[in-house]
Amino acid sequence: MSDVVIRAAEGCAADVNVLWDSVWDAEAGQADWALAGADEAANRGGLRATAAIETAVVLSLFTDRRVDPEHPLAYLADGDVRGYFGDGVDVRDDLGETDLGSVLWLLERAPLTVRGMSITRWTEQFALEALAPLQAQGACVRIEAQAVADAFAGRLDLTVALYGRDDTKIYDRKFDVLWNQVAR
């Protein structure tokens, strides 16, 4: 019988191979890749790859997931169901993968209340759905999402927290999600 070894620090080595960091720009409402700093001797001038959890959260929340035509808010899509092209190529259910992204984009022009539920509740629900693969794949054990709407400022803030196995917070970030409060 062989011993079961749990590698709690796997992926923590300095030379770990992670995807390029996607950095969220709240003012522009988009993510971009970051350049490696001078302190990254093996990667000077390349694309930075040091924040795998941040990148996974940004891609999960802000990649436009295709909306199902039967979704209760599909009418807000105005005929454009969007979606990530890669989902048609390789999504492996056996690895806990799902279509990439969220349908947060549906709320860009939603009113404060949609189908009897507040925009903050929809935001939290969509964020938790988008981040669920991180939990299914073992990157975290618990996810919290809290949304706060400020109708006068015309904005919706979303705070996301991820927790590790020992219940310590491994990720905590507030995102500004702008919306016009005018349904199409």
> Would you say residue 93 lies in a domain?
yes
Question: CA 156, CA 112: separation in Å to the nearest integer?
Answer: 10
Question: CA 22, CA 30: separation in Å to the nearest integer?
Answer: 10
Res 109: pLDDT: 79
Which H/E stretch holds residue 118? Answer: strand 117-118
Q: Mean pLDDT throughout 8-13?
A: 44
Question: CA 21, CA 36: separation in Å to the nearest integer?
Answer: 9
pTM greater than 0.95 (yes/no):
no
Pairing of strands 169-178, 22-25: unpaired
> Would you say residue 151 lies in a domain?
yes
* pLDDT above 60 for 4: no
Res 28: pLDDT: 77
Res 88: pLDDT: 67
Res 98: pLDDT: 75
> Would you say residue 140 lies in a domain?
yes
Res 179: pLDDT: 66
Pairing of strands 155-163, 142-150: antiparallel
Domain housing 136: 52-178
> Would you say residue 25 lies in a domain?
no
Res 18: pLDDT: 54
The domain that holds 172 is classified in CATH as 3.10.450
Average pLDDT of the chain?
81
Tokens read off for 184: 């199409």
Looking at residue 81, what DSSP letter applies?
Answer: -
Q: Mean pLDDT throughout 77-98?
A: 77
**For the chain, what is the domain count?**
1
Q: What length does the chain have?
A: 184
> Where would I find the H helices in the chain?
52-62, 119-136
Q: Who contacts 150 (Cβ-Cβ below 8 Å, separation ≥6)?
A: 156, 157
Residue whose C-alpha is closest to residue 130's, from 158, 94, 155, 149 = 158
pLDDT tens, position by position, 165-178: 999 999 999 988 66
> Would you say residue 164 lies in a domain?
yes
Res 7: pLDDT: 36
Contact call for residues 44 and 54 (beta carbons, < 8 A)? no
The residue among 116 and 151 whose pLDDT is bigger is: 116
pLDDT tens, position by position, 22-77: 887 777 777 788 888 888 777 777 777 778 899 899 989 999 999 999 999 999 99
* pLDDT above 80 for 162: yes
Contact call for residues 37 and 47 (beta carbons, < 8 A)? no
> Would you say residue 92 lies in a domain?
yes
Res 14: pLDDT: 47
> Would you say residue 1 lies in a domain?
no
> Would you say residue 160 lies in a domain?
yes
